[in-house]
Structure 1
Amino acid sequence: MGDEDDTVHYDGTEGGWGSIKGMAEIAWREKPTPAVLNTLRRQNKVKGFMCVSCAWTKPAHPHAAEFCENGAKATLWELTSRRCTPEVLARHKVGELRTWKDHDLEQLGRLTHPMRFDRASDRYVPCSWEEAFEAIGRELKAIDPRAAVFYSSGRASLETSYLYALFARAYGHNNLPDSSNMCHETTSVALKKLIGSPVGTCVLADFDLCDAIFFFGQNTGSNSPRLLHPLQEAVKRGVKIVTFNPIREKGLEVFKNPQSPTEMLTPKATQISTLYLQVKAGGDIAAITGLIKHVLAEEERKWREEQRHVLDIDFIEQHCTGFEALKAHVEATGWEEIERESGLARADLRQAAQIYIDAPRSIAMYGMGLTQHVHGFENLAALTNLWLLKGNIGRDGTGISPVRGHSNVQGQRTVGISEKPELVPLDRIARQYGFDPPREEGMNTVKACEKILSGEVKAFIGLGGNFVRAIPEREKMEAAWQRLRLTVQIATKLNRSHLINGEIAYLLPCLGRSEEDMQASGPQAVTMEDSLSCIHGSLGKNKPASDHLKSEVAIVAGMAKATLPPNPKLEWDAWTADYARIRDRIEESYPDQFHDFNDRVFTPGGFYRGNSARERIWKTESGKAQFTVPKTMSSVGFEPAVGRYRLVTLRSNDQFNTTIYGYSDRLRGIEGTRDVVLMNPEDMGAAGLREGQVVSLASDAGDGVHRQVDGLAVTPFLLPRGCLGAYYPEMNPLVPLWYHDEQSKTPAAKGVPVRIVI
């Protein structure tokens, strides 16, 4: 694989003074309002403000500073003193703004007024809220509801999400794609089928009881740094952490706690991973098969020599189905194939498997390195197989725990943001509100894009996010986007999606979560669900960036009132006046999970909404947890070929999804640019490339479509042979729309077939 000395890398630790410097640089750039210090003090605490960055849980007993570097950056970004006023937008044509980089667009600051796109002048012009709602309602009433798409990013509160889904269904469709479609939809599909629960099974207390933690394809240091605190505590009490990732991410290597004076003032730091294995991109199925192969061999040896089981035989017999078929498959799979497809040595896989065997209780954590593959479902099925072998689901200190990105992406699904009608209590909603919700399946992200390309979609409403920038096939999608009749974007800052407009387009500015949401009944709290299925209340107290902003709840209600016929059971005005009344309606729709909702909003550590698989109640077709036989040893959707590489798209340390805070990817040693392609030095030599040489990446998907990204500097990096790394969302033009997980339709952005063009 090469030597780290020959590559670009970071010699420091995750956390430490580098983290402090990273926050300071963003603070200097954003020049936040004076409220920022008090907001950070309240961040992720009871009756405080819940971070808009990742979805990691909020502990009942928080640290003095319960925020991480990226959480602080998100808050500084929201509380910027910069303002994107009508006067600012009047100085720039939309065509000009399209040439700007993502970072520069958001540096214009917080949006302050509702705006309408004027095609004649190619500019945004101010309008009133009344005008916007009336026009949106008029356009929606003029089309077939099934030709409209209501997208949501993962930041909107439970209250907003519930009303948004209710609006869509009262209007007449289930076209509710969300950001989960692009990242963790594979989780929702696979875990639902295999163990009967579409989300992870762990709670925070499990991390105090486990003996081993296995990570697959997740970058804790950049994407969820607060997770490093329980990981550090686990390591200190002897927990072994094993990491599988094509890239050596600093957050899972070594951590220096910024809240520890001892660590900040001395060389002391915590080594996080006991064993770090750089699996080939797409090689996780093979790697996990190798672990299972060793576990099964040890089961046979231990029983033969000691009459002692390695497997949890009682659990397998009582709670599982399909074990014998899996066992036969694994035993028939040779180590040569496992090593070739995983890129890992047998000895290393046996060492990792022995850690799993020796640990009485183990937790599996994973990110998009497993979900964003053509065979992502098979990745999660393989991981589930391994975890079922020892009964590591449904016991304290065990479980499967996907690490979510957006702060409420899991919660939105919980309260109805789903294109799948079978996941929503439609009969109960029909009784509550006196209308018959549509029963046909709606559009997910891929289907919505396909229908936009075909011209069947006429209207798109975006509740947050940067949809056009986040999706695959960008050039083709941007051209089709401008043929839409109506586009509406609800946002806090300008991004590229706001510059690719339909015939009629509105840009509606909303409050940030840290800002006071004052309605008729007083200041309002909102709620969200973390990745461990706990519900937390959030109360913003900062002065809004503009007097012309509305809350997301008020905006959704305003559009619904202008669109829908009168219905006394749809109390849009009353709900806007008092969000507690929305929570009462959520409780009626989901009584098992949200009983006594208003009384539990500010429960320390959040209140747990429950998980059937954690109770070993398997809501699967068979009524049991499901072992499966993998269909393939590689999760990528293409065969090896000369000159074909596996591109892994990455997020930097100065980024949250499509939001680019700056140009410092400190934890990888890359500064001042995002226009790079990371490459193994041996691959560079074989291809005749030198460091700094500017090249292009072109799609090698074999469908005859030309897709290319130019201007990338070759950068030597410690990657497995045949793998490349480059930044998301800049590489999205290389991902075909059809290149996605077979079952969930999640875009396969962690194993994209590309070639290098000189």
Structure 2
Amino acid sequence: MNKKLRYHPYEQPAGGWGSLKSLARYSLRQGAVGTAKDLMTYHNKVGGYMCVSCAWAKPAEPHAGEFCENGAKATFWELTSKRTTPSFFAGHTVAELLAWDDHDLEDQGRLTHPMRYDAHTDHYVEVSWREAFADIGQQLRGLDPKSVVFYTSGRASLETSYMYQLFARMYGCNNLPDSSNMCHETTSVALPESLGVSVGTVMLDDFEQTDCILSFGQNVGTNSPRMLHQLQEARERDVPVIVFNPLREKGWEEFVNPQRPGQMITNTPTQISTEYYQVRTGGDIAAVMGMCKALIEWDAEAVTTGLSRVLDVAFIEEHTHGFEAFAKAVLAYTWPQLEEASGLSRAAIEVAARTYQNAQAVIAIYGMGLTQHRGGSDSVQMLVNLLLLRGNIGKPGAGICPVRGHSNVQGQRTVGISEKTKLVPLDRLAELYGFEPPREDGLTTVDACKGVINGSVRAFVGMGGNFVRAIPERDIMEPAWRKLSLSVNVATKLNRTHLITAKTTYLLPCLGRIEHDHQASGLQVVTMEDSTSCIHASRGQATPASEHLLSEARIVAELAKSTLEPNPKVPWDDWVGNYGLVRDAIEATYPDDFRDYNSRMDTPGGFHRYSAARHRKWNTDTGKGNFLVPSSLSASFDDGRDANVLRLMTLRSNDQFNTTVYGYRDRFRGIYGSRMVLMMNSQDMNRLGIANEAMVSITTVADDGVHRSMDGFKVIEYNVPPGCCAGYYPECNALIPLWQHDQKSKTPAAKSIPVRVAAMT
């Protein structure tokens, strides 16, 4: 693959003609044109379907085309004309398919029939739905419920998610990890300690009222391109946009809006960032600490000189706790310490702090560049500290804005997909359904992986996703996975996880969200929650890929009926026949969040779940917003004492969503033809004696007796901070030790892996 690698910097803005050309290329390649009449006009709109890609908010007054390049790719990818049929599996052994790339596996198209792995022939073979459900149920009944993991990827609807968590709890376990364990679980742990909420406090309207935007560790052009509309409009009001990110990402630099003909004709981009700081990966705590130090010192000077206060003293006194201890800790750090840890100069940090000081309403955006570190929770809480200093929580145009990944990953948590029992109304479930739920916490993703390795986990039921490919410690996990008794995979397409077979492995193909879902009461509607806690209805528009597909809700119900004793209080069949009844059940379980659920689900822009912190109500242990002191200036497992150890950050490409690789064109970074690439700073290359385009091996630095190394990466000289390097996810996952995770949330530390890089001989 490496001989195909081409690298030439991309000189065009995000969006623009490059985006349109990319969409045309992928639509034709997937044969998706014509799968549904006027399909894209329904995208992210009332009466239409919600995007299967990112979770960014959907406006009440949508654009003519309320979709981005990546969202359209995800749609074409799902509505492809290609099919992975039983004849495909008859023609390829699993051993053969394991040699295929991720892209090539999924590019075979939609799964059409339920399949079971036959170890004697090393082939998947067709099986009836009835036989599959009966066998899975029988095997689950024979296992200790505590040994079974029920995983969700993030795309299942609120209705399916509610049924799924109820199934797992009635079965007897709380082992309900989901993809948020691998990305924004840090948010769900850090924000409650600081603010008393587990989600962000910002809504789309706040972007219209803000006068400053900060961003940390988030690549808007690839991961949430529709946000560029809000950013563009803010810049046209001269709102400063301050970006802290190790790489200079095209989306944060400039944007041409494909929905503005005049801008497309002239190709004159909007400059998005007004200040761009290439912070060292794992150095965000120190960067924000430096901004806080500057503000606190300037405030002290203002008191001395009689000038206006820099800090919002009234807000701090009325609404916060812990300021004095926090200020003392901040002032104890010297500027050289902060500069070394952040990779930024004092002058640069003070410029950012001054811009922040001059604004009255500030939004702070962040992504996995903050959450996926040893000190990920500290990083998030440090950003909250910065906002609290000037009262930027709970007022129009201000707040904290975590950018979630998959389209309903936040919503799944809302309706009970959680291994943490304190987040689930177990007493209410017991009352409604007449059973005693298990009361002990279940397994996180990391704990589930440990269980697979040590043998305590015996079965895995996956509602979507590509679990084995997405997790750390791949070289240890794959052989351990083969010892599982049972692996059940509800999926739309083939991926590598399906090829790492257990003793019994099933592929259960499901409808996609964009397809018509006919049940007893007619066409069904599903719902999901976006990053701003707004709930939206979604109606499929396309003909299903196969007559043999079942809906996710139907699959969950049939698995439950095959596994559990009958319970007259749980009407599985009625729920499948009418998803509105599931929404009634969700409302009965969560009456505050889902009041008048069925009547409000088509609210333009979605209906919003109440956020206490947005209204300056603090559901914390102190009853106030908490200033919290981080345990370290560095968020990385790298202690910085060995200059030959680099911090490897894993990245997604412009041609990718999560583990789904649409192709080999990382256009914004100018990398084409290969994903086995390592981006390095020229200083580090010279110091380590590594030539441009040299083949290298990457070895994890970890004193645990396990050798983790990968060969075959081609180095390209790239604009990354000294001491850092970058490679693609999930290719580099084998380098992440399972124990290298955020200390509070257990989110894998994929953004600053300590590694050594050496030229291959």
Superposition TM-score, scaled by structure 1 size: 0.98
Q: Which residue of 1 aligns with 2:4?
A: none
CA contact (8 A) 1:9 1:717 kept: no
Distance 1:701 1:362 in 2: 39
Distance 2:177 2:302 in 1: 49
Q: Which residue of 2 aligns with 1:700?
A: 701
Q: Which residue of 2 aligns with 1:602?
A: 602
Q: Deviation string for 1:710-730 (max 9, x for gaps)?
A: 111110100000100000000
Q: Which residue of 1 aligns with 2:737?
A: 736
- Matched residue type, 1:324: E
- Matched residue type, 1:555: I
Q: Which residue of 2 aligns with 1:486?
A: 486
How far residue 704 of structure 1 moved from its aligned partner, in angstroms, is 2.5
Q: Which residue of 2 aligns with 1:250?
A: 250
- Matched residue type, 2:400: I
| Greater shift in the superposed pair: 632-641 or 530-539 | 632-641
Q: Which residue of 2 aligns with 1:650?
A: 651
Q: Which residue of 2 aligns with 1:180?
A: 180
Q: Which residue of 2 aligns with 1:228?
A: 228
Structure 1 unaligned segments of length 5 or more: list them.
Answer: 1-6
How far residue 301 of structure 1 moved from its aligned partner, in angstroms, is 2.1
Q: Does 1:756 align with 2:757?
A: yes
- Matched residue type, 1:542: A
Pick closer, same or farther for the CA change 1:286–1:371 going to 2, 3 Å: same
Distance 2:706 2:456 in 1: 23
Q: Does 1:356 align with 2:356?
A: yes
- Matched residue type, 2:605: G
Q: Does 1:688 align with 2:666?
A: no
Q: Deviation string for 1:450-479 (max 9, x for gaps)?
A: 011111111100000000000000011000
Give SS of 2:581's match.
helix
Q: Does 1:25 align with 2:25?
A: yes
Give SS of 2:542's match.
coil
Structure 2 unaligned segments of length 5 or more: list them.
Answer: 1-6
Give SS of 1:506's match.
strand
How far residue 747 of structure 1 moved from its aligned partner, in angstroms, is 0.1
Q: Which residue of 2 aligns with 1:521?
A: 521
Q: Deviation string for 1:52-102 (max 9, x for gaps)?
A: 000001101000000000000000000100000000111000111111000
Distance 1:702 1:220 in 2: 36
Pick closer, same or farther for the CA change 1:339–1:37 going to 2, 3 Å: farther
How far residue 618 of structure 1 moved from its aligned partner, in angstroms, is 0.9
Distance 2:37 2:326 in 1: 54
- Matched residue type, 2:657: F
Q: Which residue of 2 aligns with 1:344?
A: 344
Q: Deviation string for 1:577-604 (max 9, x for gaps)?
A: 0000000000000000101000011110
Distance 1:97 1:507 in 2: 15
Q: Which residue of 2 aligns with 1:556?
A: 556
- Matched residue type, 1:635: A
Pick closer, same or farther for the CA change 1:570–1:122 going to 2, 3 Å: same
Give SS of 1:593's match.
coil
- Matched residue type, 2:743: E
- Matched residue type, 2:148: A
Q: Which residue of 1 aligns with 2:170?
A: 170
Distance 1:356 1:276 in 2: 14
Q: Which residue of 2 aligns with 1:46?
A: 46
Q: Does 1:260 align with 2:260?
A: yes
- Matched residue type, 1:443: L
CA contact (8 A) 1:213 1:241 kept: yes
Q: Which residue of 2 aligns with 1:665?
A: 666
CA contact (8 A) 2:375 2:743 kept: yes
How far residue 304 of structure 1 moved from its aligned partner, in angstroms, is 2.4
How far residue 681 of structure 1 moved from its aligned partner, in angstroms, is 1.3
Distance 1:692 1:24 in 2: 31
Q: Which residue of 1 aligns with 2:408?
A: 408
How far residue 46 of structure 1 moved from its aligned partner, in angstroms, is 0.4
Distance 1:88 1:79 in 2: 19
Distance 1:576 1:550 in 2: 11
Matches within 5 A, 1:111-130: 111-130=111-130
Matches within 5 A, 1:319-338: 319-338=319-338
Distance 1:427 1:127 in 2: 39
- Matched residue type, 2:232: Q
How far residue 607 of structure 1 moved from its aligned partner, in angstroms, is 0.3
Distance 1:306 1:248 in 2: 40
Pick closer, same or farther for the CA change 1:649–1:76 going to 2, 3 Å: same
CA contact (8 A) 1:33 1:81 kept: no
Q: Does 1:278 align with 2:278?
A: yes
Distance 2:49 2:308 in 1: 51
Superposition TM-score, scaled by structure 2 size: 0.98
Q: Deviation string for 1:162-206 (max 9, x for gaps)?
A: 000000001100000000000000000000111100000011100
Distance 1:708 1:332 in 2: 39
CA contact (8 A) 2:15 2:257 kept: yes
How many percent identity over aligned positions? 57
Give SS of 2:380's match.
helix
Distance 1:115 1:533 in 2: 37
Distance 1:638 1:252 in 2: 28
- Matched residue type, 2:670: G
Q: Which residue of 1 aligns with 2:9?
A: 9
Distance 2:498 2:278 in 1: 39
Q: Which residue of 2 aligns with 1:678?
A: 679
CA contact (8 A) 1:392 1:399 kept: yes
Q: Which residue of 2 aligns with 1:387?
A: 387
Distance 1:80 1:678 in 2: 33
Q: Deviation string for 1:18-62 (max 9, x for gaps)?
A: 111111221122111512562211000001010000000110100
Q: Deviation string for 1:501-559 (max 9, x for gaps)?
A: 11111100000111000000000000000000000000002100000000000000010
Distance 2:156 2:466 in 1: 14
Distance 2:530 2:37 in 1: 24
Matches within 5 A, 1:181-200: 181-200=181-200
Q: Deviation string for 1:211-246 (max 9, x for gaps)?
A: 000000000000110000010000101111000000
Q: Which residue of 2 aligns with 1:546?
A: 546
Distance 1:269 1:701 in 2: 45
How far residue 305 of structure 1 moved from its aligned partner, in angstroms, is 2.3
Q: Does 1:296 align with 2:284?
A: no
Q: Deviation string for 1:358-393 (max 9, x for gaps)?
A: 000000000000000001111011111101001100
- Matched residue type, 2:675: R
Q: Which residue of 2 aligns with 1:3?
A: none
Matches within 5 A, 1:59-208: 59-208=59-208
Distance 1:327 1:507 in 2: 55
Distance 1:596 1:240 in 2: 40
Pick closer, same or farther for the CA change 1:717–1:8 going to 2, 3 Å: farther
CA contact (8 A) 2:402 2:531 kept: yes
Distance 1:498 1:490 in 2: 10
Distance 2:391 2:643 in 1: 43
CA contact (8 A) 2:638 2:752 kept: no
CA contact (8 A) 2:690 2:758 kept: no
Distance 2:148 2:110 in 1: 28
Matches within 5 A, 1:361-510: 361-510=361-510
How far residue 752 of structure 1 moved from its aligned partner, in angstroms, is 0.2
Distance 1:500 1:67 in 2: 34
Q: CA RMSD in A?
A: 0.9
- Matched residue type, 1:687: L
Q: Deviation string for 1:100-126 (max 9, x for gaps)?
A: 000000011100000011111011000
Q: Which residue of 1 aligns with 2:717?
A: 716
Distance 1:457 1:39 in 2: 42
CA contact (8 A) 1:694 1:711 kept: yes
CA contact (8 A) 1:8 1:716 kept: no
CA contact (8 A) 2:451 2:457 kept: yes
- Matched residue type, 1:351: V
CA contact (8 A) 1:36 1:76 kept: no
CA contact (8 A) 2:163 2:553 kept: yes
Q: Which residue of 1 aligns with 2:3?
A: none
CA contact (8 A) 2:157 2:412 kept: yes
Give SS of 2:654's match.
coil
Give SS of 1:712's match.
strand
